[in-house]
Amino acid sequence: MQSLTNLQKVLIIGSGPTEIGHETELDSATVQILTQFKKHGVRTLVIDNNPFSVALEEIQPTNMYIQAVTTPNVRHILEKDHPDALIATLGGLQGIRIAQELLENGDLGRYGVTLLGMPTSTLRQINNPADLNATLKEIHEPVIEAQVVQTTDEALGLVENIGFPLIVKPVAPRVDTNRTICENVDDMLTALNQGFQQSRFDQCTLERSVVGYKEVEMVAIRDAADTELLISGLENVDPIGIHSGDSIVVTPPQTLTDREYQDLRDATFRIATEFGIIGVLHVSFALNPANQHFYVTKLAPYFTRGVSLAARTVGYPVSLVTGALMLGQRLVDVKLPSQFTKQTAVMEPTSDHVTVRIPLWPFQEVPDADQHLDTAMKAVGSTIGIGRSVEEAMLKSVRSSQFSPRDVLPSVSNLTDGELISQLIHPLANRILVLIEALRRGYSPDELSELTKIDAFYFVKLQHLLTIERQIQEHPRDVEVLQRARYYGFGDGMIARIWDTDTATIRQLSAEAHIQPTYKMIEPTAGEFPEALSGYYSTFEYENESRALGDRTALVLGRGGNQLGPNSAAEYFTTEMLKQLKRAGYHTILMNTNPNAIGIAPEFSDKQYVDPIQLGDVLNVIQVEHPDIVIVPGNRHYLTRELKKLDLNLHVLPPDQETGEPAPKMATIGVSLFVHQQQKVAVGVMDMIAPGMNKALSQVTAFRMPAELPKAKRNNLVEQAKQAVSERQLTGMVQVLFAPKGDTKQLEVVGVRPTRLTEMAFLSKVTGINWVRMLTRQHIQTLDAAELAKITVDINSTRVALMNAAFPFRQLHVLNRPGSTDQEVGATIAFGSSEALTLSNLSDTEELDQIINRTI
């Protein structure tokens, strides 16, 4: 490895729009690595076209390439800007694929760019199972023998040896695909046909299936001096056969013996050494529970949701450390901020709590998707619960995953026995509720373990929760039972519902009996050292470690796990809001359960609580922190209503997207105004594009600014919009919607609404003015009218911007079609001349895609 101490300019391949497979965790890691590089005086370039990227807000415009993340575009930057080094490990699988292509076609050599994070020999092997397995076999790591085939005939010749079930996987896939389990020849032929198309080499691999094995993931970090430490292990509750992104995950692993765990740790380190990883490595294993034999099933030397979860749960600052390692430092030399005990970077983390992650699926928004959980990932987000017992962590995470306004778990008691058994064997998104229901109906842990291949341990734990639930039912208002219930993670809302009372009563009873939450710090030494980190979770024990943060505090309630709809935009909003609050002198406290949230990073919030965002839990935090202001997201109506009853300085941000006014059927132009007292600043006039035949407002998922109208017309619409707003006495970030009047070309006002979160991000990126921060300042009354008056936005700019929503249809294997706003998974943005971004046919989604992803 060459010396990296003189790196001056580094290019990061961004992750592009959020999609199934990665959400905001990559952006979050990018932000932290940027911070680390900045500290070391390294200029960092980023290419990304995600309008909700926080990383793009953190860098100078001259270092920013808002372009489609494609190989030609990256090559163009290498050619033009001559970075010394390239980071591909923050761009998900796409980033790796682009780096592979640049390596194969000689561009890395041609432009003298060093690849950071791994040697090029390793880059070449990632996602090439044959090569990978050959190397793994060389170092005696057990792998499932994969045979490469180029034709179906070849495959048929191998079937007898491998046996069914077997797995088909494309070699070097162009897209983030997955293994397909085949039970018979027909399955196999179908999978092969698809796989050949997805493979960059028209090849697939066949291998023995390990369905039903335990899936364990290990996340490690390594430096150039070969110092290696394990950040954490992740145990998938669901067996192999269900994608780890769709599985309930528990960390640290609970059902492994030390010997099994250490064997996997050893294997992880041998792999990290062999592949020369500098930074993170995420390895997946299939463990045969019958004989402890294991196979290496996946190797990801880049940032993943697993890395993010591992780091979050133990409190190890993985991104900061990786940034330092990429600059050539050794783990022993990494200096961390003062909150960390000296040498934390090189201490192997240990943990004194349990974290459970439950995925969130998009089936409500995309009901035609196959809802069975299998080897292809379908989840779009996740929530975590942290506790001091598996029960507590599990229940907290279930409560957060159900988005129940009143904190009550849905019941699946209406399932017939037949349906229940079928769902146990072929799990659906409500997996956890079905498991609980089966226990309720008297199945034993061993029977269920047999049916589901889930370790009986977890059924013992769920059964314990049911025992406590029965005790709650049988002993109304019994404080001992109340104590036990809260101790094991039951929410106030759940207990209130069983006792047929309200949350206030439960809280009253608890206060009288001194059953109070105690907050514990999330830190990597399990209490050995006095770390001063800022993340906490609640439990009900003896010692509370959390003290009020101090004067002038703002409590921000996050939106929980990512779902379809405006969620990654909401994440952007929350982070920018936190920044503004901080700038205004507030100490910020964030409550969130999304392990991938960006705002959770200490750069953006001074203190974090990882607890369900439910009334009881929120009130518990308020009781400790006494915040000066409380900010609740607009989509939490019940919570807002309940909090409004209390003496709190409450703000609703991001703003509620639903207003009293009925939405118009359709709109073709949107005029956004920032309204503050008497001022109405015109922010932008945009085309509202509904690709496809259906032009309903909910189908408007693409935007172009400025709208393709004569200048005078735009100015005229702004005047009309101001008029419309005056009549309605609105403030904040308002959007006035226009549509053609009847069959004429004449535009008329058809409605007024708060500017949607996605469009607010778009407007900020396009105008260069951060409207989220403006809105925040308006709320906290630090917005200066005189300053606002000076702001002028060129609504007739000749530079055109286009934003287009991304949808998960392809990954969910449903018909590709124009989607609606509540099906958005992310978005892409492009800038250019009006000619470059002109659409000949507004209904043509393919043309839209092509234009927005064009090579610059």
Partner 1 sequence: MAKRYLILEDGSAYAGEGFGAGATTSGEVIFNLNLLGYQETITDQIYHNQIIIFAQPAIGNVGINHDSYESILPTAKGMVVRDLTNISTNRLSKLSLDEFLRQHNIPGISGIDTRHLIRKLRTAGPMKGSIVDVADAHAFDQLNATVLTNRQVDQVATPKPYPNPDTGKNVVVIDFGLKHGILRQLSERRCNVTVLPWTASAQDVLNLDPDGVLLSTGPGSPLDLGTGVLDMIREVQAEIPLFAIGLGHELFALANGAKLTPLPVEYHGSGHPIRRIITNDILYATQGQGYAVVAKSIDRDRLITTYVDLINGTVQGLRHRDFPAFSVQFFADGAPGPHESRDLFDEFMEAMTSREG
Contact residues for partner 1, defined by CB under 8 A: 225-227, 229, 252-259, 261-263, 265-266, 269, 331-332, 343, 346-354, 388-391, 456-457, 460-461, 487, 518, 520, 524-530, 541-543
Distance in angstroms (rounded) separating the CA atoms of residues 820 and 694: 10
Task: Answer for the pair 830, 66: CB distance below 8 angstroms, yes or no.
Answer: yes
Smallest distance, partner 1 to C-beta of residue 103, A: 30
Nearer to partner 1, 363 or 457 (CB): 457
Nearer to partner 1, 260 or 492 (CB): 260
Nearer to partner 1, 165 or 276 (CB): 276
Nearer to partner 1, 214 or 779 (CB): 214
**Nearest CA among 270, 273, 282 for reference residue 244:** 282
Smallest distance, partner 1 to C-beta of residue 172, A: 34
Spell 634-649 as b/e; 16+ CB within 10 A means b. Answer: bbbeebbebbeeeebe
Smallest distance, partner 1 to C-beta of residue 795, A: 57
Judge if the upstream peptide bond of residue 740 is cis by omega within 30 degrees of 0.
no
Smallest distance, partner 1 to C-beta of residue 623, A: 19
Strand partners, 672: 684, 735
Environment class of residue 112 by beta-carbon count within 10 Å: exposed (0-12), middle (13-18) or buried (19+)?
exposed
Helix (H) or strand (E) holding 147: strand 146-149
**Nearest CA among 831, 846, 705 for reference residue 47:** 831
**Assigned token pair, 645:** 């009853």
**Assigned token pair, 358:** 């439950």
**Nearest CA among 686, 676, 719 for reference residue 795:** 686
Nearer to partner 1, 266 or 551 (CB): 266
Token pair 């145990």: residue: 235
Smallest distance, partner 1 to C-beta of residue 484, A: 10
**Nearest CA among 780, 784, 829, 827 for reference residue 806:** 827
Nearer to partner 1, 526 or 791 (CB): 526
Nearer to partner 1, 71 or 255 (CB): 255
**Nearest CA among 316, 362, 355, 319 for reference residue 339:** 316
DSSP assignments along 644-690, one per residue: HTSS--EEE-SPPS--SSPPPS--SEEEEEEEETTEEEEEEEEEEE-
Smallest distance, partner 1 to C-beta of residue 292, A: 10
Smallest distance, partner 1 to C-beta of residue 226, A: 6
CA distance to 22, 359, 436, 832, per residue, from 362 (Å): 14, 10, 22, 33
Smallest distance, partner 1 to C-beta of residue 533, A: 14
Nearer to partner 1, 515 or 725 (CB): 515
Nearer to partner 1, 70 or 236 (CB): 236
Smallest distance, partner 1 to C-beta of residue 705, A: 53
Helix (H) or strand (E) holding 624: helix 615-625
Nearer to partner 1, 230 or 737 (CB): 230
Single-letter residue type at 417: D
Nearer to partner 1, 22 or 353 (CB): 353
Token pair 């039951």: residue: 490
**Nearest CA among 223, 225, 9, 5 for reference residue 112:** 9
Smallest distance, partner 1 to C-beta of residue 224, A: 12
φ/ψ of residue 774, rounded to 5: -60, -45
Smallest distance, partner 1 to C-beta of residue 347, A: 5
Nearer to partner 1, 231 or 761 (CB): 231
Angle at 83 between CA 80 and CA 88, to 5 degrees: 110
**Nearest CA among 125, 431, 159, 457 for reference residue 296:** 125
Smallest distance, partner 1 to C-beta of residue 154, A: 41
Strand partners, 557: 591
Smallest distance, partner 1 to C-beta of residue 252, A: 5
Distance in angstroms (rounded) separating the CA atoms of residues 828 and 807: 11
Nearer to partner 1, 264 or 825 (CB): 264
Single-letter residue type at 261: Y
Smallest distance, partner 1 to C-beta of residue 388, A: 5
Distance in angstroms (rounded) separating the CA atoms of residues 439 and 302: 39
**Nearest CA among 219, 487, 537, 212 for reference residue 383:** 537
Smallest distance, partner 1 to C-beta of residue 268, A: 12
DSSP assignments along 700-739, one per residue: --EEEES-SS-HHHHHHHHHHHHHHHHHHT--EEEEEEEE
**Nearest CA among 664, 669, 672, 671 for reference residue 696:** 664
CA distance to 237, 517, 592, per residue, from 611 (Å): 21, 11, 6
Smallest distance, partner 1 to C-beta of residue 219, A: 14
Nearer to partner 1, 372 or 464 (CB): 464
Nearer to partner 1, 480 or 748 (CB): 480
Say how many C-beta atoms besides its own lie within 10 A of residue 374's C-beta: 18
Edge-to-edge strand list for the sheet holding 204-208: 146-149, 204-208, 166-170, 180-182
Smallest distance, partner 1 to C-beta of residue 389, A: 4
Distance in angstroms (rounded) separating the CA atoms of residues 816 and 814: 6
**Nearest CA among 655, 686, 687 for reference residue 755:** 655
SS3 of 587, please?
strand
Nearer to partner 1, 526 or 789 (CB): 526
Nearer to partner 1, 134 or 332 (CB): 332
Nearer to partner 1, 370 or 541 (CB): 541
Smallest distance, partner 1 to C-beta of residue 409, A: 22
